[in-house]
Structures are given as structure tokens and as C-alpha cells.
Amino acid sequence: MDGGSSLNILYIDTLDAMGILRACLRAFLFPFYGILPGMKAYPLGNLDLPVTFGSRTNYRTKTLSFEVVDWKGTYNTILGRPAYAKIMAVPNYTYLKLKLPGPNGVINMSGSFEQAYISSREHFDLATTTANSAELS
């Protein structure tokens, strides 16, 4: 969950694990900034994917647009403001909860504090390494 991001990001490793061919990507010519420290980043392309939230008894499926990037990340994907707006979700970062309307009531999704800490630590190490290598160049 990244309510500060105006992008939905999908990492290339996740795309490959899903068995989706890179030929399915639409060209995307514009860089984005603020993702990698001090550098602009170019996505490989973008892709629309159906995403399902909830359980068998109470779920919603929406098609979301993702920018596919070719760098290491600590997550499979990052949902930003475009996803929250489309699914009408309300994120709570303190409790790692995401709530959205479903056909049979509110769909509650929970994150793991332990996994969030591990991912944050990995992300910090990755950002530090990237920034250091950019400075050396």
C-alpha cells in the first residue's frame, strides 16, 4: 500500500512468475521520478490486469493499470492512489488494513507487521545500495 504514489507498480519478476509474456506490455515513453533516489526511471511498459480482492463469499474484481519496472523490489506489486480510487478503498497504514466495499458488506484486508518490517528493511538496504552505486557512477 502506498497512498503517496500516483502509480501502480508491478515488478518484472512478478510478471514473469505470473507467466505473462513481455510482448503483452504496451509501450510507455515517459519516465517517472522519485522512485529511485536521485534518478529518473523508465518502465518497460504498462499492462492492465484484473485484480480480485476479498474471499469467495465477498469479493470484487477490478481491472487495474500497472507500470511494469525492471528493478529489484521487496514486494510483488505496489498499489497506489489510482488503485484506491478505482476500488474505492480506504487504507489505514497504522493498522495495515485496507477496507473496500463488496457485494456482501465491507471487505477487510490485513497486512502483516512482521512482513512489513522485513520488507521495509530490505527496501532500505536496496535503496542505499542503489543510491551508493549511482554516486559512484
Which 3 state secondary structure label does DSSP give 104?
coil
Strand partners, 63: 50
Say if pTM beats, i.e. exceeds, 0.85.
no
- Residue 63: which region, alpha, beta or left (left: phi > 0; alpha: psi -120 to 50)? beta
Q: Residues 60-106: pLDDT tens digits? A: 999 999 999 887 776 778 888 888 889 888 888 777 888 999 999 99
73 phi and psi angles, rounded to 5 deg: -140, 165
- Domain ranges across the chain: 9-136
Does the domain made of 9-136 have the CATH classification 2.40.70? Answer: yes
Q: Residues 1-49: pLDDT tens digits? A: 555 567 888 889 999 999 999 888 998 777 777 666 667 778 889 999 9
How far does the chain reach from its first CA to its final CA, in angstroms? 32
